[in-house]
Amino acid sequence: MIALALDCLVFELANGERIPFSVEMISVELLGNAARQFDLEFVRHAAKAVFHYFKVELGRQAVTAGEFAGALEKVLCGFKQPAPASVPRAVAGGELESDLRRLAREADDGELFFFPRLRDELRQHLQQGPRVLRFRGLRGCVKQLVGARRWTPRCRNLEEHIVQFLRECLSLEARAGECAMVVE
């Protein structure tokens, strides 16, 4: 038996055929309205993220074409549909508060869907013009996403990634200069 290359994932087609693909070999064809909504380069990056999710995060060696397409569709829909309505908790003095543990619960498939949801939450809050945005429950959120009972090096890495992601998202928003952010 020939070993599968480290950067490959076996795709199981509907006809039962199994074909190894690297992330560079995957091509995505969008039809109809979806083709007009997304830039081709954006779709390539989304496909790479989904590939990474199955290969690295889930540790899978094989995936059905349907599973991959479904995950990619869910990611792309997350960028075009408004996030589910959530009521941020208003705190005295022009502050808005969000619970990161709630966002982690809402992200059914873990990290892959958590980050777009987190960005949407940040944008929704900024539209209300708060002086301070407070994101609570970082540690619990990280452990929930990682599936860990105890704090691990992977938890620490994800914690840093979430804080960095929030900083980058805030710096890209137009109202970012008017608002301070606290992550705890």
In a domain, 61, yes or no: yes
Q: Could you list the residue range(s) of the whole structural domain that residue 35 is in?
A: 8-80
Tell me which of 68-82, 83-97, 125-139 is least confident.
83-97
**Do both 71 and 97 map to the same domain?**
no
Q: pLDDT tens digits, residue range 46-71?
A: 888 888 888 888 888 888 888 888 88
**Do both 58 and 112 map to the same domain?**
no
**pLDDT at residue 83, rounded to an integer:** 43
Residue 82 has pLDDT above 60, yes or no: no
Instruction: List C-alpha distances in Å: 117 to 23, 58, 74, 78.
Output: 25, 20, 12, 7
In a domain, 1, yes or no: no
CA–CA separation, 17 vs 128, rounded Å?
52
**Do both 67 and 103 map to the same domain?**
no
Q: Which of 27-31, 40-44, 89-93: highest mean pLDDT?
A: 40-44
In a domain, 3, yes or no: no
**Do both 94 and 170 map to the same domain?**
yes
**Do both 20 and 51 map to the same domain?**
yes
Order of all β-strands in the sheet with 62-64:
18-22, 8-12, 62-64
pTM of the model: 0.55
**Do both 161 and 76 map to the same domain?**
no
CB 23, CB 51: distance < 8 Å: yes
What SS3 state is found at 83? coil
Q: What counts of helices (H) and strands (E) characterise the chain?
A: 7, 7
Residue 91 has pLDDT above 50, yes or no: no
| Vertex 121: Cα angle to 146 and 103 (nearest 5) | 30
Residue 126 has pLDDT above 70, yes or no: yes
**Do both 44 and 121 map to the same domain?**
no
More confident: 90 or 160: 160
Q: Number of folded domains in the chain?
A: 2
